[in-house]
Structure 1
Amino acid sequence: MLTEKLLLHVLMVLAPVLSYGFFFERKYFSSFPYLWGALQSICAAFCIIFAYHDGGLFWDLRYAPLILAFLYGGKISGGMVLGTILVCRAAYGGEALVFALLGIVLAALIPFLLSGIFMDYHPYKRVKMAMITGIWPIVVQIFILLSFTAYSSEINSSLMDTIFRLLTFGIIQVLGIGTAARLNELIIERSLMKKEIQKAEKLNTMGELAASIAHEVRNPLTVVKGFLQLMQKDDKDQRHPYIPLVLSELGRAEVIINDYLNFAKPEFKQLEHFSLAQILSDVCVLLNALAVKQGVELKREGAAEALLLTDRNQLRQALVNVIKNAIEATPSGGTVTVSLSLSGDQAVVSIADTGKGMTPEQLSRIGTLFYTTKDKGTGLGTTVSVKIIESMQGKISFKSEPGKGTEVTLKLPLHKKMNISY
């Protein structure tokens, strides 16, 4: 009878997850902590109301929604469920009320401590952590049971039978939490997948647009620029002092158009073997003048040698964009550190600055079209850099914290030359 009742409670535990996923599939659980907490509180209340009473104990899965609320919804959601369980259990009263309330508080301790770091882990690891956390209330219940037995001096033969039931109850609870956690991860994964699909559609549309208009716009710009250069040569008396400014702005327009073209489809015109360390040194020398002008120290670290096979100029452009952004984001007196290391069959380039950093919301939008944290800029530079690195079968990631700076990590596949002798 106990097993059947607990399996019914498993369905109660799954109900909030399915309801949330159906009505709010585009939002994380932590986005609506009060809603998530309310759903889990209702679940916990139903578990207590429909508990199986046997041997002077209440058998239910009240701790499953408590754990899920803390881990996936945060401290607000978990606090709501904890309060609901305490109130419901207090309403039942009983001789062991104090011990029961103490056990509920202790059972919430581990989920409370994990709530701040839980979502930072990999999805599969989160499921395992949730299941392991489900063991903690069992340990607490056994401890409380033994304490109450010692306090009441009523040690009898049914104690071991109760502990055995606790173990059976624990297995069902852990499996129930694991199932609910897995469903949570599927909802999160589906939400992320929809965002990626929408992002890919926007990028594809923008790429097609860039490819169709870039050549048409660049041709008349080239003609205008050519005639202005001829006028500048003939203007020996400098009767037209604004020509250099116009040429400068035309050059800037050409750079933006080239960025659109690279975004649409990076062209690797010349594949060659070269040293990544040498490219980094060249880029640092090139941008050192900008760093000095901004009052920023540009440091180059790491003596690793990495041989790549790709388009040198495209990679140089991506590195210039990323390092230039780091310099511009760093206040006077700050430092930008460019380091190179090896990790397996990959070269790892790290560009870390001591700038103002970014919020999680800003960080999530980095690399998207037309988004920039700078006052001036189109946001295309970072997008193009991401596109170039990904086209080279590499990966680029961003890590930032407000007030502490930003770190950009580029991982590029190494190329090893084979020396064959006959």
Structure 2
Amino acid sequence: MLLEKLFLNILIVLAPVLLQSVFGDRWRNDQSPIVMGLLYGTASSLCLLFSYYELDLYWDLRYVPLVISSIYWGPLAGLINYIMIMLMRTYLGGDALIFGYISMTLSFIIPFVASYKIKELTGSSRIKATILVSLSPLLVMLLILMSYVSLYKGFESFDLATIPAMISFGILLVLGTWLSSLLQEIHEERFKMKVQIQKAEKMKTLGELAASIAHEVRNPLTVVQGFLQLMRPNEQGKNQQYLHIAMEELARAESIINDYLNFSKPKLTKLETFSFSDVLNNIIVLLTPMAMKNGVEITVNLEDKIYIFSDRGQLQQALVNVIKNAIEATPANGEVQVSLKRLVGRAEIKVIDNGKGMTKDQLSRIGNLFYSTKDVGTGLGTAVSIRIIETMNGEMHYESEEGVGTTVIIILPL
């Protein structure tokens, strides 16, 4: 009978993950921890409701949804789950109600604290950590049982049948946690893949549009520029000055068009092996006057003897855009930190500023054409930088907190 109840509990435990696979994308918003806390809390309550009472204990898997909700959806979801379990346990009552409260509280504290660390893990590492945390309720139950028996019945009344029951319970607890975590990871991976596919399709469409517009505009600009160059030697005084301004603006327009073409399809034309630290040092020298003008200090921590094989010019363009944006986002007397270090087979660049930072919404839109957090900007520089790094088989990530600053992490293969 015990095994039958526990197998029923496993089905209840898996129900929230299966519902996520159907409705999960609609639930991914700021209210997600509350929604998922209620969903997993319902699963925990049902596990307790359909538990098997024997040997002075309620045998059920109520703690599996508690652990999963705390680790995958945060402490708020875990807290909601805990409250719902407490309410259901109060409804069921019983002689050992106080011990039940103590058991549930101790079983809640461990995943609640662990969630802050485990949420940083991914894949199989997170599954293993979740299973390890899920064993804590088993130890708590054993401790509470021993305490209850010693206080009210004496150890001579301890039923040895509890030991195989505990072993069976532990096996099914691990099985339920493993299946739930595995399905949760599959769901997370599917969601990330869907976002990446949507982003790739969007970038492809924008790239094709940018290329077609850029080609159409470039031709008449070239003609105008040619005629202005022919007129320039024959003009004097203010006309000469006006022609100079016109030529500069045309050159700026051509530079923007080149950026659009780069966004459409970045070309790595001149591949060579070069020192990464040399490129970054050149960029720092180039941007130091701008930083000094804005009252911003640039601190550098570069590891030497890191070489990559790529297009130096394109990489420099991408890094100039990133560091320049960091300087512009930093207030006077602020600081921009640039670091370079070697990872296993990769190089990591971090550009950290202590500017105004970005909201979650702003962060999610970084890299989109025509979106910029600056008052005057097209967002083209950042979009081009991301495309260049991706073309080099690299990765570019943004981390930001409003009022604290922004960190840009670029990873490239050695």
**Which structure 2 residues correspond to residues 176-255 of structure 1 after superposition, within 5 A?**
176-239=176-239, 242-255=242-255
* Deviation at residue 73 of structure 1 after TM alignment: 2.8
Measure, in 2, the Cα distance between the counterparts of 1:164 and 1:181: 26
Identity of aligned pairs, percent? 46
Whole-Å separation in 2 of the counterparts to 1:148 and 1:263 = 69
SS of 1:309's equivalent in the other structure is strand
Q: Separation in 1 of the partners of 2:139 and 2:14?
A: 23
Give the SS at the match of 2:155.
Answer: coil
Q: Say if 2:149 and 2:158, in contact at 8 Å, map to a contact too.
A: no
What number of residue pairs does the alignment pair up?
Answer: 414
Q: What corresponds to 1:279 in structure 2?
A: 279
- For the residues of structure 2 that align with 1:149 and 1:30, how far apart are their CA atoms? 45
Instruction: Give the corresponding residue for 1:298.
Output: 298
Verify the 8 A CA contact 2:55 2:159 in the aligned structure 1: no
State which drifts further: 271-280 or 80-89. 271-280
SS at match of 2:238: coil
Identify the residue that residue 86 of structure 2 maps to in structure 1.
86
Q: 1:276 to 1:260 in 2, by over 3 A?
A: same
User: In the alignment, what sits opposite 1:169?
Assistant: 169
Show the counterpart of 1:36.
36
Structure-2 residue corresponding to 1:22: 22
Q: What RMSD over aligned residues (CA atoms) do the two structures have, in Å?
A: 2.3
| 1:362 has 2:362 as partner | yes
Q: 1:60 to 1:285 in 2, by over 3 A?
A: same
| Counterpart code for 2:196 | E
Residue number in structure 1 paired with 2:111: 111
TM-score, length-scaled by structure 1: 0.90
Q: CA deviation at 1:195?
A: 1.1
CA contact (8 A) 1:367 1:383 kept: yes
Which ranges of structure 1 fall in alignment gaps of 5 or more residues? 415-422
What is the rounded CA distance, in whole Å, between the counterparts of 1:133 and 1:42 in structure 2? 21
Q: Who is 1:59 aligned against?
A: 59
Alignment of 1:250-399 (within 5 A): 250-302=250-302, 304-399=304-399
Identify the residue that residue 417 of structure 1 maps to in structure 2: none
Q: What letter is aligned with 1:123?
A: G
Helix, strand or coil at the partner of 2:412: strand
Match of 2:404 in 1: 404
Separation in structure 1 between the aligned mates of residue 40 and residue 308 of structure 2, nearest angstrom = 53
Given that residues 356 and 405 in structure 2 are in contact (C-alpha distance below 8 angstroms), is that contact kept between their aligned partners in structure 1?
A: yes
Q: For residue 239 of structure 1, report the CA deviation from its aligned partner.
A: 4.7
Q: Decide which moves more: 28-37 or 331-340.
A: 28-37
2:272 counterpart SS class? strand
Q: Counterpart of 1:70 in structure 2: which amino acid? A: S
Partner of 2:139: 139
Q: Which residue is 1:11 aligned to?
A: 11
Cα distance in 2, alignment partners of residues 29 and 378 from structure 1: 27
Kindly provide the amino acid, as one letter, of the partner of residue 386 in structure 2. Answer: V
Q: Name the TM-score, length of structure 2 as normaliser.
A: 0.92
Q: Deviations over 1:194-222 (max 9, x none)?
A: 11111111111122222323222111112
